[in-house]
Amino acid sequence: MLTDIFLKPLDRFSSKHKYLKPIGVPFRLHWLLVCLGLVQITGCVIPASPDVEESSLEIHHDAPLPNLTLVRDVVPEVGREHRKFFPSSGYYESVVSESQFGDPGEEANLSCVYAGLKEALPNIAILSTSAFWERVGAPNNSIELSELFVAPQSEWLRAFQADIVVIAYHARIDLRNSKGSYLVEGGYRDTDKETASIIVIDLHRKSIIHGSRLTFEDDVILYHFLIIPLGIYTTDPANSCNTVAQQAGLAIAEAMPDRPIRALVVAAGEEPVKTTKRYVAKIKREAEEKREAEERRKLLATLEQEANKENTDAQLKLFKEIRRQDTNRALGWLCKSADSGNQEAREILADIFQYAGYIWVKKGIVEHNYKLAYMWRGLSGKYDKEEQQVFADQYLATAGLSEAKKMLEDWQPGNCERALGLEQKK
């Protein structure tokens, strides 16, 4: 029902603002009565606070800087808005964001950032962003953050005597749009998402000293029943651009106390906190993968050293470690372990021949061989005569069983590699 779709925010609003309705009167009924009396004067407009999400960067001073793109002009975010006209199915439409910094293609007006920084840090000196871009002369009015630390840009930054660079971003983009109309009721709902984000770089230490992000969704909802119009809108929180800039100013004051600060403020071509988090996660993941690879290399070297000393447990473990990457070599170590009497290695060989490699090696490398499976089951010492007979009854005919028993009696070390065809592959 349209009532559920367009009036659910009323329930959320009710739970947050219970003092706005009389005790014992249902919330919707209360506001319907209010609207009946006040609609001609107020339109029954109800403000409600949107959901706000704040996040901050986990600062690692030794982490490399992300390769953010700094831009002179406003670069819009591109997204897809879900549009639905009830009761028909919905569709997606490409949309571009708006920005508090100005229209797309215009030089970014960063006055909201300047104001927030100065509110938290009154003595901060804001350098001319336009002068910076004129000096840099970057093609396409954009430059990568990493380029600021190499000549000639690094020399220009020194000439500017900047202590920090503040990288800011702001975008408001459409998310969802719903319309509906029936005989006695109808409604309209539009949801936008606004994001303000900021990162502060210490140019002397070449490290991030602050990063914060503020994002929220804002609904505009209109609903009518019969001829009674109901209007509901959600109010924006305090200026989001100014808010994150104030947070940055406080962080700068804490990181650089009792000293004059000269700041260069520039716009980002992409949301910097999210981009930096992805970058930091990527760096940490790569470092972890490198550490794991080095530990694995050392483990394999140690196992091979012990395996060459006829340590059957090391031979078996080496098989398990490399069976996916180097199957033939792994099977060779498994055979050596089994030939030397390792019970588990012999049990694994029995499984390999019984199930054509599954689950130990890739399908197609080893074929079913129930005679060899019977032989290795016998050599493992795990199965008694009754269990062996059950296996034989299921997989081996009379002639096959006789041959399998003969193979068990005549077994000698070295047969394993020949049976697997490893000698021909050497």
d(CA 130, CA 161): 16
Q: Is the pLDDT of residue 290 over 90?
A: yes
132 in any annotated domain: yes
Q: Is the pLDDT of residue 65 over 70?
A: yes
Q: What's the CA dihedral at 401, 403, 405, 407 to 10 degrees?
A: -140
| Boundary (domain end) residue, out of 282, 306, 327 | 282
pLDDT of residue 178: 83
pLDDT of residue 37: 45
d(CA 373, CA 360): 14
| Boundary (domain end) residue, out of 282, 300, 333 | 282
Q: Is the pLDDT of residue 186 over 80?
A: no
d(CA 108, CA 149): 23
Q: Are residues 370 and 270 in the same domain?
A: no
d(CA 91, CA 177): 10
CA angle 169, 175, 180 (to 5 degrees): 155
Q: Are residues 153 and 78 in the same domain?
A: yes
Average pLDDT over residues 24-45: 44
Of 265, 273, 271, 267, whose CA–CA distance to 102 is shortest? 267
H/E element, 4: helix 2-16
d(CA 198, CA 248): 7
Q: Is the pLDDT of residue 89 over 50?
A: yes
166 in any annotated domain: yes
Q: Are residues 166 and 92 in the same domain?
A: yes
Q: Are residues 202 and 345 in the same domain?
A: no
Q: Is the pLDDT of residue 348 over 90?
A: yes
pLDDT of residue 61: 62
13 in any annotated domain: no
Q: Are residues 161 and 273 in the same domain?
A: yes
pLDDT of residue 322: 93
32 in any annotated domain: no
Q: Are residues 278 and 346 in the same domain?
A: no
Q: Is the pLDDT of residue 341 over 90?
A: yes
Half-sphere exposure of 11 (CA within 13 A, CB side): 6
DSSP state of 66: P
pLDDT of residue 53: 63
pLDDT of residue 245: 92
Confidence tier at 5 by pLDDT (50, 70, 90): very low
Q: Are residues 272 and 350 in the same domain?
A: no
Task: Kindly report whether the global pTM for this prediction surpasses the value 0.85.
Answer: no
- For 137, the token pair is 């002369």
pLDDT of residue 27: 42
Cβ-contact 176, 158 below 8 angstroms:
no
9 in any annotated domain: no
How many Å is the Cα radius of gyration of the chain? 36
pLDDT of residue 414: 83
Confidence tier at 304 by pLDDT (50, 70, 90): very high
pLDDT of residue 38: 42
| Boundary (domain end) residue, out of 282, 308, 324 | 282
Average pLDDT over residues 12-21: 37
Backbone angles phi, psi at 209, to 5 degrees: -110, -10
pLDDT of residue 183: 57
Number of domains in the chain: 2
| Cis before 260? omega within 30 | no
Domain that holds residue 59: 44-282
Q: Is the pLDDT of residue 33 over 50?
A: no
Cβ-contact 331, 319 below 8 angstroms:
yes
Q: Are residues 260 and 383 in the same domain?
A: no
pLDDT of residue 292: 93
Q: Are residues 250 and 372 in the same domain?
A: no
Asked which of 34-43, 64-73, 119-128, 378-387 is least confident by mean pLDDT, the reply is 34-43
Q: Are residues 72 and 144 in the same domain?
A: yes
Q: Is the pLDDT of residue 332 over 70?
A: yes
Asked which of 40-54, 139-153, 338-352, 412-426 is least confident by mean pLDDT, the reply is 40-54
3 in any annotated domain: no
Half-sphere exposure of 131 (CA within 13 A, CB side): 9
In the beta sheet, which residues pair with residue 107? 73
First to last CA, the chain: 73
DSSP state of 184: S
Q: Are residues 410 and 278 in the same domain?
A: no
pLDDT of residue 181: 65
Average pLDDT over residues 161-190: 81
Using one digit for the tens of pLDDT, what is the confidence trace for 231-250? 555 555 568 888 899 999 99
Q: Are residues 58 and 134 in the same domain?
A: yes
253 in any annotated domain: yes
Average pLDDT of the chain to the nearest whole number: 80
73 in any annotated domain: yes
Residue type for position 339: D
pLDDT of residue 234: 58
Q: Is the pLDDT of residue 182 over 80?
A: no
d(CA 316, CA 257): 61
- CA distances, 397 to each of 356, 403, 406 (Å): 19, 10, 14
Average pLDDT over residues 162-183: 84
Using one digit for the tens of pLDDT, what is the confidence trace for 258-285? 788 899 999 998 888 888 888 777 878 8
Q: Is the pLDDT of residue 15 over 50?
A: no
d(CA 62, CA 57): 14
